[in-house]
């Protein structure tokens, strides 16, 4: 980017046009803070990191459709609803809006390219944002799907939203946008209205339909050579011609003189004809480059979608409603639709506004819309509090079969290992119940807990679903707490089920002989729970720091393999000073005095932490937590 400055106005669809490699995607990533740069981007007059809820202000489509391919369409959208803080019913509403309600139970990996684009738009529009940033939204779509897409974008802009999409097709930019910003090699070339862009950058042509296309082409060519005029004739199909350098009058007169039947004759700029036919490739006229300002090398991109400039139809409307006419909506919903402090909007006004462009585009109908076209205004509720990250994490975890599959494999492996240990007769009772032979660095239950923890951040990089780029791991305390809590509960459940399965398997095969009644069970149970929770936490933090599921699981395995030997060397040898009386000293330092009966419990916990495995696990968690905080702090630094 080299001093790229432009503005995507509210109520307008803006196209960022450029050849592949010109910097279109980089510009969007700079706007979202996904690439380091010295520029500044304003969303409704504020920087992105100053927005209290970025996911509700900016809808983004970058790259492929995000999400686990095995998750269903509806579950993925419900998870994103929890992330953005909107009602879960919004997912079904948006599926109706984009016309894929019938695919709500399909897996993401089974969707076609066109259906993926519809789903991605549903995800971008989920929180009803004021600004849309879309990277190549019409890539690999059919002409019919492109017409639908641009109709939807124009509808969003008609309500006062700001839409910015990138494309490398000049015809598509002129057709789908109100304003076209052309860039080349990261520099601004032109910033024009779509009409001016089409007039100056696209060649006008005459579209002709005739059953005698070859004969008419020969006639036009002979007359052009006789008149010494530069006319280019392109055969688009068996019955269609595109004539450049002429007009309808000249082509019509030539056809009349030679008795050629003509079915269609129309002046066009680029390819704006029937969507069902392939058009001629764009031939932009050479144009002198407009030199950008050279006063500063900073890239400043202003996306200023101020609510004061909303459409007049919305400003003069009466009351806004959700799915039922006459239902009152909270002021937060009006702010979400860009009418903060202003009048509410009625169902009729919504239907009139959304159906204004219905006739020109083929969009799927929405149930409840009596005008036969646009999506119904939905009440976007501002959901806050600590339950929102927890709801998101629960939907993320149980949206696929991964937890159930992991638990099944872990329990089966643990039971088999416990039977083999009991058969040898050399392992103690605690090792048999935990299914932890000396050859394994960790028991199967601990490995399963670490794997579930690594999956928490390993494949889910979208909270609050602002950007689709891999590697954007937001540092949010509420989200981290929810992930650690959910993973801890899952780890404890897997551990309890594994112990029960091990005891049942050993008792079934060998009877009660290998499993004598324990004299003390509290300390081993606490140690077992601490091991499982520590492994799951290590997986969560490591996958967040290294942005990889494999790295998260490797960090869990590194604790017994690499860290424990170092701790054993550090703790080798007698201590010069005794540690007797540490429990009484801790009781004296604590604000809440615990009863003396709890001294044994505290002492047992301290002894377990003093073991090499416990010490290594605690040290690893401290290092990973510091690394997590450091990477989050570094991502907030503005250069």
Q: What is the pLDDT of residues 268-277, one digit of tens each?
A: 765 433 333 3
Predicted confidence (pLDDT) per residue in 280-323, tens digit: 333 333 332 222 322 233 333 443 333 333 333 333 333 332 33
Q: Cα separation of 137 and 147, whole Å?
A: 12
Q: Report if pTM > 0.85.
A: no
The DSSP output letter for 562 is I
Of residues 16, 265, 348, the one with CA closest to residue 164 = 16
> Region 47-55: what's the mean pLDDT?
82
For residue 600, give Cα distances in angstroms to 458, 577, 581, 611: 39, 22, 12, 17
Enter the tokens of residue 458: 């390993």
Q: Which percentage of the chain shows pLDDT scores above 70?
A: 71
**Which tens digit of pLDDT belongs to each residue from 553-590?**
898 988 888 888 887 777 776 766 666 667 666 666 76
Question: 419 or 477: whose pLDDT is higher?
Answer: 419
Answer yes or no: is pLDDT of 343 > 70. no
Task: Quote the CA–CA distance of 143 and 138 in Å, as a whole number.
Answer: 9
Of residues 76 and 387, more confidently modeled: 76
Residue 369 has pLDDT above 50, yes or no: no
- 493 pLDDT tier (thresholds 50, 70, 90): very high
The tens digit of pLDDT for each residue in 184-196 reads 988 998 899 988 8
CB 466: neighbour CB atoms within 10 A? Answer: 28
Token pair for 314:
């919305």
pLDDT of 63 > 50? The answer is: yes
Q: Contact 240/274 with Cβ under 8 angstroms? A: no
Beta carbons of 144 and 275 less than 8 angstroms apart:
yes
Instruction: With beta carbons less than 8 A apart as the criterion, state whether 306 and 45 touch.
Output: yes
User: CA 393, CA 466: separation in Å to the nearest integer?
Assistant: 16
Confidence band for 615, pLDDT divided at 50, 70 and 90: confident
Domain positions in the chain: 60-128, 203-269, 387-635
Between CA 398 and CA 539 the distance in angstroms is: 18
* First-to-last C-alpha distance (Å) of the chain: 15
d(CA 597, CA 339): 62
Please tell me what DSSP assigns to residue 159.
T
Q: Where is average pLDDT lowest: 29-43, 374-388, 543-557, 603-617? A: 374-388
Q: Whole-angstrom Cα distance, residue 321 to residue 344? A: 8
> Is domain 203-269 given the CATH code 3.30.70.100 in the classification?
yes
Indicate the DSSP class of residue 438: T
In the predicted model, what is the mean pLDDT of residues 622-636? 76
pLDDT at 501: 94
- Read off the tokens for 469: 């780029």
In whole angstroms, what is the distance from residue 491 CA to residue 456 CA?
13
Residue positions counted in the chain: 639
Please state, in angstroms and as integers, the Cα–Cα distance from residue 494 to each residue in 523, 535, 540, following that order.
19, 12, 17
Mean pLDDT of 71-86: 86
Helix (H, G, I), strand (E, B) or coil at 101: helix
CA–CA distance, 89 with 96 (Å, rounded to integer): 11
Residue 580 has a pLDDT of 67
Q: String of b and e for 66-87 (b: at least 16 CB within 10 Å)?
A: bbbeebbbbbbbbbbbbbbbbb
Q: What is d(CA 158, CA 363) in angstroms, rounded to the nearest whole number?
A: 15
Neighbours of 610 (CB within 10 A): 13
Peptide bond into 279 cis (omega under 30): no
Q: Quick one: angle between helices 347-354 and 143-158, nearest 10? A: 140
How does residue 371 score in pLDDT terms, banded at 50, 70 and 90?
A: very low
Cβ(129)–Cβ(58) below 8 Å: yes
C-beta separation of 612 from 560 below 8 A? no
The CA–CA distances, whole Å, from 99 to 105, 364, 365, 377, 623 equal: 14, 5, 8, 16, 48
Give, for 437, the enclosing helix (H) or strand (E): none
Residue 219 has pLDDT above 70, yes or no: yes
Per-residue pLDDT tens digits for 400-459? 888 999 999 999 999 999 999 888 877 788 888 889 888 888 899 999 999 999 988 865
CA distances from 26 to 4, 5, 235 (A): 11, 14, 38
Nearest Cα neighbor of 183 from 364, 17, 378, 389 is: 17
Give me the chain's average pLDDT, please: 75
pLDDT tens-digit map of 198-217: 877 777 788 899 998 888 98
């Amino acid at each position: 980017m080299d001093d790229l400055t432009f503005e995507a106005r509210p109520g307008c669809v803006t196209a960022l046009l450029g050849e592949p490699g010109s910097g279109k995607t980089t510009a969007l990533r700079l706007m979202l803070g996904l690439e380091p740069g010295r520029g500044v981007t304003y969303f409704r007059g504020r920087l992105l990191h100053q927005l209290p809820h970025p996911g509700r202000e900016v809808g983004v489509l970058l790259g492929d459709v995000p999400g686990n391919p095995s998750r269903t369409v509806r579950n993925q959208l419900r998870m994103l609803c929890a992330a953005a803080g909107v009602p879960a019913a919004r997912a079904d509403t948006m599926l109706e809006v984009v016309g894929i309600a019938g695919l709500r139970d399909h897996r993401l990996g089974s969707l076609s390219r066109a259906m993926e684009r519809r789903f991605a738009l549903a995800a971008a529009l989920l929180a009803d944002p004021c600004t849309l940033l879309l990277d190549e939204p019409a890539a690999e779509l059919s002409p019919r799907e492109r017409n639908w897409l641009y109709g939807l974008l124009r509808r969003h802009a008609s309500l006062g939203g700001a839409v910015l999409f990138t494309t490398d097709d000049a015809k598509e930019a002129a057709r789908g946008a109100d304003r076209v910003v052309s860039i080349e090699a990261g520099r601004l070339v032109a910033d024009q209205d779509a009409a001016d862009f089409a007039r100056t950058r696209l060649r006008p042509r005459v579209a002709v339909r005739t059953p005698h296309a070859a004969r008419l082409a020969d006639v036009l060519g002979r007359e052009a050579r006789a008149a010494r005029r530069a006319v280019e004739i392109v055969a688009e199909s068996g019955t269609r011609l595109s004539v450049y350098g002429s007009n309808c009058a000249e082509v019509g007169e030539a056809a009349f003189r030679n008795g050629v039947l003509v079915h269609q004759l129309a002046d066009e700029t680029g390819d704006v004809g029937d969507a069902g036919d392939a058009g001629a490739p764009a031939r932009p006229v050479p144009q002198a480059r407009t030199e950008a300002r050279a006063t500063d090398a900073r890239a400043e991109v202003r996306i200023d979608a101020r609510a004061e400039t909303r459409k007049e139809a919305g400003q003069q409307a009466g009351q806004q409603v959700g799915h039922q006419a006459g239902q009152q909506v909270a002021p937060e919903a009006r702010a979400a639709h860009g009418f903060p402090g202003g009048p509410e909007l009625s169902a009729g006004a919504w239907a009139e506004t959304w159906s204004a462009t219905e006739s020109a585009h083929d969009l799927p109908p929405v149930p409840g819309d009596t005008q036969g076209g646009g999506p119904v205004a939905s009440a976007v509720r501002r959901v806050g509090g600590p339950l929102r990250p927890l709801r998101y994490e629960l939907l993320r975890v149980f949206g696929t079969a991964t937890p159930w599959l992991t638990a099944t494999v872990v329990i089966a492996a643990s039971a088999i290992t416990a039977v083999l240990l009991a058969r040898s007769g050399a392992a103690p009772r605690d090792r048999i119940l935990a299914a932890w032979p000396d050859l394994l660095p960790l028991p199967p239950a601990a490995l399963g807990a670490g794997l579930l923890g690594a999956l928490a951040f390993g494949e889910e990089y979208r909270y609050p679903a602002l950007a689709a780029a891999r590697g954007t791991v937001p540092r949010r305390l509420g989200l981290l707490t929810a992930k650690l809590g959910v993973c801890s509960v899952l780890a404890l459940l897997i551990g309890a089920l594994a112990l029960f399965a091990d005891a049942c398997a050993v008792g079934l095969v060998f009877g009660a002989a290998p499993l004598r009644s324990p004299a003390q069970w509290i300390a081993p149970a606490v140690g077992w729970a601490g091991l499982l929770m520590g492994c799951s936490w290590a997986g969560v933090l490591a996958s967040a720091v290294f942005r990889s599921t494999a790295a998260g699981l490797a960090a869990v395995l590194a604790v017994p393999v690499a860290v424990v030997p170092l701790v054993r060397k550090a703790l080798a040898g007698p201590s010069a000073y005794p540690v007797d009386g540490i429990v009484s000293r801790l009781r004296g330092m604590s604000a809440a005095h615990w009863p003396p009966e709890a001294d044994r419990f505290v002492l047992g916990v301290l002894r377990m932490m003093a073991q090499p495995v416990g010490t290594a696990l605690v040290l690893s968690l401290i290092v990973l937590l510091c690394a997590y905080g450091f990477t989050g702090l570094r991502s907030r630094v503005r250069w």
